Structure 1
């Protein structure tokens, strides 16, 4: 491969002509660089890309332009909820573009991704936030791979590294929850509160907050004390001036999240009172009422404002000497109470709507009190006691059974035959 030296207008550079058979327009195509080595390397890269069917011209655009193109496409064709798409947009605009958006797409390398993730941590972002931002970039670059703009994903290798480097919190606590005494104290503290039924239902069913806010009257059967999770509420992340609804109803998180759950009798009584309260609110609001068929609506019929519910919840906890928790931690409390009562992990997994029992055990496995002690005791019994005399097996005759574990009826039959 030859590189020609070109002098033009007091400037000097090197040009390499590319094979005509790689292009269908019949025109001459070439690459240029300041040094001979750079020109040859650039030509070899372009030839390799053309032979793989990659679009070299589109790959020369800045990463910023590609990411904006990706967001526009992903909004309608990505198969994700509006809230998820808005999370992607946030990380791309806040964490990716300001730092590495100027890098040309075809020149992006794993080292750029490494340095970018390091800079995010340097800005004080937590490990989970950095991992999420990296997963967004990895997903976007995967589209560049599928659109034949790149032949490898520069952020792909970082996915495995991020999982290996995931750290454990210094406290060692995976989840926060109320113990049985605290749970009873909490129910006593919220007695008579406007959201008493919501808190009690969360504590006794383990519903996620978005499932509670999206629960409809048609999903309840108070006669048999049973509910079905059919929809959830997702609050959107609107930009200032953006014409997007503040909330959006959608399907549950996963297929297993669409589930049927029984609840206690005292909760059914609270829900009946809640239905009566909502009926009065509807009559009082009149024409300003926005009907959504919700079990726990606001005074106007719209979904409850999550921040207001959380603020009220934490004030109650603080006033009664209970730990400061999130509303989601009532879900963890529900799981811990079931474990305390000896409910099988498979049933807990189904009740919580987990995608698999593995997720349940990974999250709550450390709460199964005594399970590790039982394992140690079994090993002690098996290996740590006095050694037993080895059992010698011989061929049985009519009066002898070779193994102590032989069927007792067989032994009795042999004894009767010998008489």
Structure 2
């Protein structure tokens, strides 16, 4: 295989004939590329291109844009990706990638372009307006001047729904005040976007659309190490007392005593619950895809599908709940929704995971508790279990963490708090109580 370099105007172009015929035409394709500033640069690029051709990685020049490639890519990989992952990645592409680099030619997408994208997303990438803080500013301003505005007035002034304004005003009155949201995306979100781009560019290389994967040479933003807010035992007990008469009180109790994921608790079925031996097998998942709830077999990680024990109080609460549910099933008869879900509405319909999250937000605000997310109940359980002296490996397995090492990193601050107690316990066991008194008497 021989190449040639020649000048065209003010730039240089390389050209060579591929070693293998094109099956569709039966001819040897000619590969060329121009625009090089010097003859030396053109020769270097020519040698690199010929080496790639020898290895079967011929990339033909194309004007395909990033947007055009992503449209093709999402269609091709939908069947091979988890539904929630596919939808999340597609949302990332639509909201954060296409608006910024969608018009860039795929073959020209390089490392500096990706670094500029990530920097912009970190500083000004948020597309959703901070309506919560806007509502609070309006409500607080008018509350200081006189009578606090009604939810309808807040909704009309800030362009939100009456439901959002009503929930917001309830939070403000209970002392749960928002802070202004940063206009940039969180580093974790940008890391997720990077993961999507990395996978897409790897496929572009495999499909011979690009010569190399630029995302492979770019480091995503560092993951923030901020601690999540959790409830202490007093907060948890206050919440459970406040929701004791709520329809889903046993759901919240099970969440707080096991720490299983939201989708798993919404997708739990009675054939996976054994109240006699007090065990729950976590398997089925109820996930949200494009706003709609759907059932999905299998958990989020390889350790998510497992059987875990539940305590006596939680088991008793579930028995009482099942009796109530059986009465409702008898009342509705043939109109009762099939599925055998543990937690349902009166007619047997399983709850939408987002409705459970919203219900929790309302109940926590009404109880006057520190604002946390439903997912933070999982962290609250793990933190409380560690402080109660449960082995970290056991806690990690119970909540279905894929990596015990990551679990220990996440909850290192909790374990560190027990360091002094550990020192005292170990010393007491090793040297006994008499050592100190005899040393003192001498």
Q: Fold conserved (TM > 0.5)?
A: yes
Q: Does 1:217 align with 2:217?
A: no
Q: How does 1:242-253 map to 2 (within 5 A)?
A: 246-253=293-300
Cα deviation per residue 1:173-220 (whole Å; 9 max; x = unaligned)?
A: x22222122222222112121111101111111111111001001011
Q: Does the residue aligned with 2:67 lie in a helix, a strand or coil?
A: helix
Q: Does 1:132 align with 2:205?
A: no
Return the offset for 1:60: 4.9
Question: In structure 2, what is the equivalent of residue 192 of structure 1?
Answer: 245
Q: Does the residue aligned with 2:296 lie in a helix, a strand or coil?
A: strand
Instruction: Find 1:168's aligned residue among 210, 215, 225.
Output: 225
Question: In structure 2, what is the equivalent of residue 266 of structure 1?
Answer: 313
Change in 2 beyond 3 A, CA 1:29/1:152: closer
Contact 2:18 2:53 (C-alpha < 8 Å) held by counterparts: no
Question: In structure 1, what is the equivalent of residue 52 of structure 2?
Answer: 49
Contact 2:268 2:284 (C-alpha < 8 Å) held by counterparts: yes
Instruction: Find 2:364's aligned residue among 287, 312, 317.
Output: 317
Change in 2 beyond 3 A, CA 1:358/1:17: closer
Query: In the aligned structure 1, how far is the partner of 2:261 from the partner of 2:18?
Result: 61
Q: Does 1:367 align with 2:414?
A: yes
Contact 1:55 1:148 (C-alpha < 8 Å) held by counterparts: yes
Return the offset for 1:28: 6.5
Change in 2 beyond 3 A, CA 1:344/1:104: same
Question: In structure 2, what is the equivalent of residue 177 of structure 1?
Answer: 230
Query: In the aligned structure 2, how far is the partner of 1:36 from the partner of 1:307?
Result: 57
Structure 1: gaps spanning 5 or more residues = 239-244, 381-419
Query: In the aligned structure 1, how far is the partner of 2:340 from the partner of 2:70?
Result: 39
Query: In the aligned structure 2, how far is the partner of 1:363 from the partner of 1:34?
Result: 51
Q: Does 1:201 align with 2:204?
A: no
Return the offset for 1:361: 0.9
Cα deviation per residue 1:347-403 (whole Å; 9 max; x = unaligned)?
A: 11111111132122112221125444468889x9xxxxxxxxxxxxxxxxxxxxxxx
Query: In the aligned structure 1, how far is the partner of 2:90 from the partner of 2:201?
Result: 14
Return the offset for 1:32: 6.0
Total equivalences in the alignment: 362
Query: In the aligned structure 2, how far is the partner of 1:375 from the partner of 1:267?
Result: 30
Return the offset for 1:72: 1.4
Query: In the aligned structure 2, how far is the partner of 1:269 from the partner of 1:255?
Result: 30
Query: In the aligned structure 1, how far is the partner of 2:382 from the partner of 2:296?
Result: 26
Tell me which moved more, 150-159 or 330-339.
150-159
Q: How does 1:110-129 map to 2 (within 5 A)?
A: 110-121=111-122, 122-123=124-125, 124-129=184-189
Query: In the aligned structure 1, how far is the partner of 2:224 from the partner of 2:414?
Result: 20
Query: In the aligned structure 1, how far is the partner of 2:399 from the partner of 2:11?
Result: 66
TM-score calculated relative to the size of structure 1:
0.77
Contact 1:15 1:30 (C-alpha < 8 Å) held by counterparts: no
Cα deviation per residue 1:98-120 (whole Å; 9 max; x = unaligned)?
A: 21122222222101111111222
Question: In structure 1, what is the equivalent of residue 73 of structure 2?
Answer: 70
Return the offset for 1:50: 2.0
Q: Does the residue aligned with 2:303 lie in a helix, a strand or coil?
A: helix
Change in 2 beyond 3 A, CA 1:269/1:37: same
Question: In structure 1, what is the equivalent of residue 218 of structure 2?
Answer: 158
Change in 2 beyond 3 A, CA 1:40/1:274: same
Query: In the aligned structure 2, how far is the partner of 1:192 from the partner of 1:6?
Result: 81
Query: In the aligned structure 1, how far is the partner of 2:203 from the partner of 2:277?
Result: 49
Change in 2 beyond 3 A, CA 1:246/1:231: closer
Query: In the aligned structure 1, how far is the partner of 2:402 from the partner of 2:365?
Result: 34
Q: Does 1:305 align with 2:348?
A: no
Change in 2 beyond 3 A, CA 1:4/1:246: same
Cα deviation per residue 1:276-330 (whole Å; 9 max; x = unaligned)?
A: 2323333444555431110002344332123332233223222333211212222
Query: In the aligned structure 2, how far is the partner of 1:359 from the partner of 1:35?
Result: 48
Question: In structure 2, what is the equivalent of residue 337 of structure 1?
Answer: 384
Structure 2: gaps spanning 5 or more residues = 126-183, 428-442
Q: Does the residue aligned with 2:188 lie in a helix, a strand or coil?
A: helix
Question: In structure 2, what is the equivalent of residue 393 of structure 1?
Answer: none
